[in-house]
Amino acid sequence: MKKLLAFLLIVALSIFGSSLALAAPAASFSVTQGSGDSLNLSGSCGVGNCTSATFYAKSNQFAGSNFMQIGQAQANSNGNAQISYTPTWTGNTPFKVDFLGTSGSLVATQTFTFDVMKDPSGFPQSAIEFQRPLDSTGSILVKALLTIVALVWITLLGSFFLVVIRVPKLSKQASEEK
């Protein structure tokens, strides 16, 4: 009886052990400040587990707020992949990496949030602020421009009413009084 239980235990462990070997590899992901304005995004999926990595950044500044692809890298023999990326906005930015296996299938995914502290150099701060339509400076400018456009349209419609409707009535009344 003990031999039968031992045999069944070995068979069960061999079956479950082989299915556990197919589980997704442990992946890691990190974002660090690079040289100048760039960030270094690096990920690892373990030796021999993946062939390439696709990196993404998420923007909360525009409609949709989905991850957008920012780069791809081939994994080295240790399963490490790295890219350099220059962000275009400041604040807490979620980053994501997808590791692909030899058949092109998704092997592992990791996300990481990094606080981007400075805007890219070479641009005046005001130009960067106006590219952010939902931030305070940009929204004030957009509201002011829309108000001006609305006032111009009201003036044009008033002039149209005056010229097309009111003036012919007044000229008709003046010719009838004579």
**pLDDT by residue (tens digit) across 19-43?**
444 445 567 888 888 777 788 888 8
Q: What integer pLDDT is reported at residue 79 of this predicted model?
A: 85
Q: What integer pLDDT is reported at residue 134 of this predicted model?
A: 52
Question: Each residue of 78-132: pLDDT tens digit?
Answer: 888 999 988 877 778 888 899 888 888 888 888 888 887 765 555 555 544 445 5
| Average pLDDT score, the chain | 75
Q: Is there a contact between 63 and 78 (Cβ–Cβ < 8 Å)?
A: no
Q: What integer pLDDT is reported at residue 118 of this predicted model?
A: 66
| Residue that wins the pLDDT comparison between 37 and 74 | 74
pTM recorded for the entire structure: 0.53
